[in-house]
Structure 1
Amino acid sequence: MAHFVYIMASRPCGAMYTGRATDLRTRVEAHRAGLSVHTAKYNIRRLVWFEEHDCFEASLRRERAIKRWRRDWKIALITQSNPNWHELTPQIPD
């Protein structure tokens, strides 16, 4: 089973949320539906970065590491693979 670590944003360099999920497409839709207090409060709706892991432990370590990062490091991570902060939901593997 795939495990995903992801970052969503309200706009380029705006409010961000880092999370982890096994069903990324469903989790993104839950954020957009307002089921997460933080993402609803800050209007965070755009999936701007994600990576896939093979096991739960690896995804958990990566999520916790990214959550401890400074904001500018997160922005650099996103910009490296998605310079225009485009919506990446269509790129989620099935």
Structure 2
Amino acid sequence: MYIGVTKDLKRRIRQHKNKVHPTTFSARYNLNKLVYFEKYNSKDEALLREKRMKKWNRDRKVELIEKENPTWEDLVGKIK
């Protein structure tokens, strides 16, 4: 699982799907499906949430995803 912050989610997804940066974590593990995202009004809020979530164990992350997206559908088409 990859957790990150971006101001342009569509661009970031395109980069991951096209493996623009082939040595990154997401490229190495073929992570190219958006299954969960949150929007924040400030960069500071988003970064704080990212730091907290990165400390979570995998089970907690899976629980959060499955609460909102039980089938792990690719949500790329739902980005506004």
Q: TM-score range by the shorter chain?
A: over 0.9
1:69 matched residue in structure 2: 56
Answering whether residue 44 of structure 2 is matched by residue 44 of structure 1, we say: no
Query: How far apart are 1:19 and its partner, in Å?
Result: 0.6
- Aligned CA-pair RMSD: 0.9
Q: Count the aligned residue pairs.
A: 78
1:59 equivalent among 17, 41, 46:
46
Scaled by the length of structure 2, what TM-score is found?
0.93
2:12 equivalent among 27, 37, 43:
27
Q: Deviations over 1:28-84 (max 9, x none)?
A: 111112125111111111000001000011000001100110110000000000000
1:80 matched residue in structure 2: 67
- Unaligned 5+ segments in structure 1 are 1-15
Work out the CA distance in 1 between the residues paired with 2:32 and 2:58: 18
- Unaligned 5+ segments in structure 2 are none
Percent same amino acid at aligned positions?
A: 37
After TM superposition, what 4+ stretches of structure 1 lie above 6 angstroms from structure 2? none
Work out the CA distance in 2 between the residues paired with 1:56 and 1:39: 22
SS of the equivalent of 1:28 reads: helix
Q: Flag the structure with higher helix content.
A: 2
